[in-house]
Structure 1
Amino acid sequence: MFQAVFQHHLTFVVLAFLITALVTVGVARAARKSTRRWFIGAFAGSVTAVLLLTLWSTGGSDMAPTCVINHNVLEPFSEEQGLLNLGMFVPVGLLGTLSARHAWPAILFGVTLTACIELTQGLLPVIGRACDTSDFMANAAGAVLGGLAGWLFLQADRQPGTGWPLRPGRVVAGFGAVWLVGAFLGGFYIHTSIEAQTVAGGPADDQQASAVTQAVREAFGDHYPIQRTAFFAGPGGTGTVMAYLPSGFLQINWPQANDVTVSIEPGTSEDSGYPVAAVDAKLTTKQQALSLTSTYAKQHFPWGLTQAHVQVDPVGPQAQLGWVVSWRRYRAGILMPMRLDVEIDRHGRVSQLHALNAADPSLPAVTVSAAQAAALANHAEAGCEKATPTVLMALPTTHGTWTPAYRVVLTCGTNGGLVIVDAHNGTVLNHVLYPAQAAPSNPADGDVGAP
């Protein structure tokens, strides 16, 4: 949430600060007869800041009202985003307690406030914010901690003072009414999605950090310092380890650590990409791009060039942004999983990279022809007038083995289709329709039986 708010939105940050300051001063002046007027003003300012941070629109969505329920209630307290959410509500509980000189209504207010915020985010997807019980848990914990801190301060305060005159029954009834309305709105209008975890990112452990550091050194030597590392968990102990670089990132799969993806911000400055040559190369042809990129690949990923077919494709009109050089390996006309893609700009700098170092798997025999695969694909998506097998590739199965498979592209009027057909037993493994203008790209595109 904080990254979405603060990154590239300096105008909003300044405006939110000014609004919060105005509310703080205005409420303090309005409460000038109270000896706690500045506590009251600061409390109003803290609530204003929370509302601005949580309800400011990050971009609308046409999704149905949804709220995610996280089974892992402790998850938000183990990662940076959750701790920031916790800290955001500490001033609400603290200043509310110091203003009212009562802790329990301030804590109840803070917990109710975060519930209302999450409910609003869920009911109004147009503001582009997410309703998530992880946020609620972190925010509520912050309000409780702030309230307890305020209570301890009041216990140590030797100056006499009385709290706001409160009638507990009415206070509880008022907050209860708010919760009942919220429960009604949430129950009738919000769809819930139950997840085992919602915030996958957290600090990488020593083994993960070592693996991603090694991948950075393999790709760039000591050129880039690693600012921090993180692990984004997936199912069954798998996931992605990320290394954040000064102008981009490098990520690897986990636990295999053999699939590397790099994105470096393109541009013309020295830190905009990894310089392959000592000086700007000023590339003008794809032959020059191939020569320089091959030099880089031989130094950093020599395994990707062994018995591999190479292809050079322009990036942007007339290769304004450079070229992508791709290496693929085929066995008996079957595309193997190994791949190496390097994007190099006209200044001789690597900006994008995908390297999958995978051994050639053992495959069963191909018993289905390309024509048979096309017929099977047409049968899977009836009504399509054309089926074109584009590549025969090695594909992992759900049983942990590999099989040869055809990738078949369909033409279906104004729509297209993509069908994967097992080349060993003729099973249709996957098929999907899409608008013709949104045809999915695939680095394995090519003619069946390519070298």
Structure 2
Amino acid sequence: MSLLAELVVTLPSFTPGSAQRVCNVAGPGLLHAIFATAPGFLNIVMYVPLGLFGALAFRRPLVNFAACVNLAAATEIFQGIMANGRGCDASTMAANSLGALIGAGIAIGWLKFSGSRTGLGRRDLVRGSFVLVAGMVFLSIVLASTLHVLTGDDFVNKRKPSDLAPVLAGRLFGQGVQIKGVSLAKDGHSVTSATDRGTFTFSWPTSQLLSFESADMHAEPGDLADGELAKRGSSFAQQWWPYAIKDATPTLRPGSPEIPARVFNYRRIRGGVLMPLRIDITIDASGRVLSAAASDFLGPEPDGLPPATVSMDEAKHGAEGANPGAKATNAFLLIKKVNDQWRTLWAVNLSGSKTFGVFVDAASGEIVTPDKGP
């Protein structure tokens, strides 16, 4: 059952053409992705049962651990070959392997405590080493022959934006894309690159995709159902922002009249508060991703902000008092920056001679103006 659960979770359905066939073996934030993100923690937990029950069942903890490592590597490579948006990433394999090691350790401890034979010894070490080495050699050959490997030379040692831009452009637009220009923002935190297939912006130096727009924004006709379009949007988001969308809510809505396409959104709500995460992916009816934008991937936790002591009715009353003649219709809590500080605000919609919105600080009751941005 543990093996079946691993396969169900890590091998989603094939979505053709949604990602380039690459494998990131040394990208930025590798350790952070393993130990400081929810997906990294889940990847560890997922393999604990495999390491635990395999060692208990076969009494060959090191052989079982080696098999788990090979399984994790094979799964990542298969995902990269299928190009289904999950991608091939060394951080996931490392997290899975750590989980299997923890499971094996628990099994060994349990067997010793119960006075049973652990199977741990010279023979288990030799066999486990053989399984691990043989599996890694075979999988390395498969990896090298089927995927483009992104190494430390693609990320860590690329100190110039002009060096990193072609790597990300290749993942985004496919092979053969031509870079036309690369410019670093004045604040030094983002880079915009123009190509013959579109433009994109990424954070610097962390290389996180912030936005992209295809050079051809003409929405192609097609007959894909909303469910399939949602899968395409989810696949794209999983490829570029997997840690950000883990507990976010996706929705599919119509696009603008100028571009007859669908927009796939991700928003996060925690404790009734709309978090600052914004991910918007525009997809035409043929399933082609036309553009995407993302901001505030994680943001603050509501518990870390001043408590919301102002009620909805008080917020509405305050907004009406600051705007005589206007009537508050509804309000909801959200988090935005005010003077570069995250704050919990009431967004109050008012109607009168015109419809407009007012923001009320949920802690102080003051009318405030959020910083510009999403």
So what's the TM-score if we normalise by structure 1? 0.41
So what's the TM-score if we normalise by structure 2? 0.49
Which structure has the larger Rg over C-alpha atoms?
1
